[in-house]
Amino acid sequence: MNEIDSYWVLSNLRIEIDRFPKWNDTITIKTWPSGYTRLTAGREFVGKDQYGRDLLRAGSEWMVLDRQKNRPKNLFRLELGLPKSGPKAISGEMSRLEPQCSYSDIEQVRVPYSSIDLNGHVNNTEYVRWGIDALRRIFRFKGNIRLLQATYLSEVFEGDELDLLVSSGGNESFYVLGRRSGGGSNVFIMETSC
């Protein structure tokens, strides 16, 4: 990516969890590219325990951003050696999440330096951590998370302030919306199901 003055960014991730591993379990993760469109490339994941039993399946969509313009690059014009298509780990089409109708404002997060990755913006795992923490402040999950999806809409940088809003969709489904403080643009959307 450095040779083409670009970097990968995660734009959408969906994880379906069969069961959580136990302490000291050995886990094997298999991953592979699963095709691409003009703007996104897919990567799949399957996690198994030491006995070969399924733990999780995940699908993800990635974009290549131009480092100077901070804009997506057309993957059809790049020679990345990606397969045009491939097997999917999760069933059905993975779509991007859309905001729910109503949310409750929970808290504000000021982005610390420790949340920043090598590309200078917030690491994708931080959004999930903030989202789960916000949900736990309001809702008490009955059991483990079985599904988690995060759709990333905008980069966030050190010192930015985000409002975290939550919503319950019933049937043990919960949603988080992260937006720039003061009524700014949406930054990420997350859905979890127990």
Q: Which domains, from first to last, does the chain contain?
A: 2-77 (3.10.129.10), 104-193 (3.10.129.10)
pLDDT in tens, 28-75: 999 999 999 999 999 999 999 999 999 999 999 999 999 999 899 999
Q: Which long-range contacts (CB under 8 A, 24 or more apart) does 32-35 make?
A: 32/86, 32/87, 33/82, 33/83, 33/86, 34/59, 34/83, 34/85, 34/86, 34/87, 34/88, 34/89, 35/82, 35/83, 35/84, 35/85, 35/86
Query: Is pLDDT above 80 for 190?
Result: yes
pLDDT at 182: 87
Q: What percent of the chain has pLDDT over 70?
A: 98
pLDDT in tens, 77-91: 999 999 999 999 998
Q: pTM for the whole thing?
A: 0.92
